[in-house]
Amino acid sequence: MKLLVDIVSKNGNLLLSVPLRADGTLDDKEEVILNDLGEWMSVNKECIIDTRPWKVFGEGPIAESAIPLNAQGFNEGAYNKATAKEIRFTQNGQKLYATVLAWPEERQVLIKSLADGNSLYPGKIKKVELLGYGKVSFTRTPNGLLVNLPDKQVNKIAPVFKIN
């Protein structure tokens, strides 16, 4: 899921290869991955489908550093270690989506790219919604947009904010 969000934020498409057993059935591990993907997409598809990249693809330690390639030149394993400081952006018209690549333990997310006075988003932020939940409280400061999360996680993978 994290890799999908990262690729879409960079205007890419994810080619998902699902290996099957010799008898044509899914491996248990692959089935869990596909079920998790389907469950997450059923709530958060609007941040993926029909979206475009934003002015920057993301922010966070992985976004701001070079990831060494491994084996055959792939580096997607780096996203398994993504924390709540890793955020990816997509947009659809006037709607901006910020996907946090992990649930923050402290129930708050600071989105630095949306800081008050930042030229990336000079307009006023009127509403922030957590997809699958609804409106959440937020404060825009010179350090970033501080968004408060509900006590209960709405999914087990990655929260998505719709910002208007």
pLDDT in tens, 35-55: 999 999 999 999 999 999 999
Structurally, what CATH architecture does the domain formed by 2-163 represent?
A: Sandwich (2.60)
Tens-place pLDDT, residues 18-31: 889 999 999 999 99
pLDDT at 73 over 70: no
pLDDT of 148 reads 98
In this prediction the pTM is 0.90
Region of residue 37 (phi > 0: left; psi between -120 and 50: alpha; otherwise: beta): alpha
